[in-house]
Amino acid sequence: MLFFNIDHIEPELLPETRKASSSFFEGSSRMCEFFAYMENNDMLHAPKAALQAAEAFELSASLFEALSTKIKGNYSWIRNVVKDVRVEEAAHAAQLDPKSEIVQRMNSELFLNDVQIDGVLMRTAHEISGMAEYLRDTSERMCKPHISSEHENQRAHQLLGDWRTLVARGQYISSVCMLTARVGAQD
């Protein structure tokens, strides 16, 4: 499991985590198509790819939101179970530097603040929703005459950076959950 998979801790959540994660990757695939059209300055096909990516990301956001709500309501014990994980090991398992800004921010959310895992998932849902909104707006803008391809390319670079950060966060959470399951099995 690659992206925000909580099922390592609670196997009953496997269908929901797989569906939310795979929907995110479907949106990512469509977004990469959008980027390919942008790279080739194909403003005829780029809007449709952006819209398809937006739709897949909207589904993913709603699935992550539902997963967060389900954890908070029915699996509240998961909210605190990650605290026994060695963060360095989790970071290395996700191919991240334990001192990176992403890992430090995630550790703060998971271990220092009162956000916990369901809050991290809810924040993820909002971030994915923001990506969907951006792509939907981009699609609409690109269908209008006199668009600035330079401006759209700059915005696409920002979107790519946001996506990259979100993927790294998702990998880290999956790693934390996988290691949490391992720690729990040793107890």
In a domain, 26, yes or no: yes
Whole-angstrom Cα distance, residue 176 to residue 69?
20
- The domain containing residue 129 runs over which residues? 6-186
In a domain, 132, yes or no: yes
In a domain, 34, yes or no: yes
In a domain, 109, yes or no: yes
Query: Residues 30, 134, 106, 78: is their CA dihedral positive or negative?
Result: negative
In a domain, 1, yes or no: no
pLDDT of residue 82: 72
In a domain, 54, yes or no: yes
Average pLDDT, the chain: 86
Contact 142, 89 (CB under 8 A): no
Domains identified in the chain, total number:
1
pTM beyond 0.85, yes or no:
yes
Q: pLDDT tens digit string along 69-89?
A: 998 888 877 766 777 778 889
In a domain, 74, yes or no: yes
Q: pLDDT tens digit string along 133-185?
A: 999 999 998 888 877 778 888 888 899 999 999 899 888 888 888 887 765 55
Where residue 48 falls among pLDDT bands split at 50, 70, 90? very high
- Give the gyration radius of the chain's Cα atoms: 18
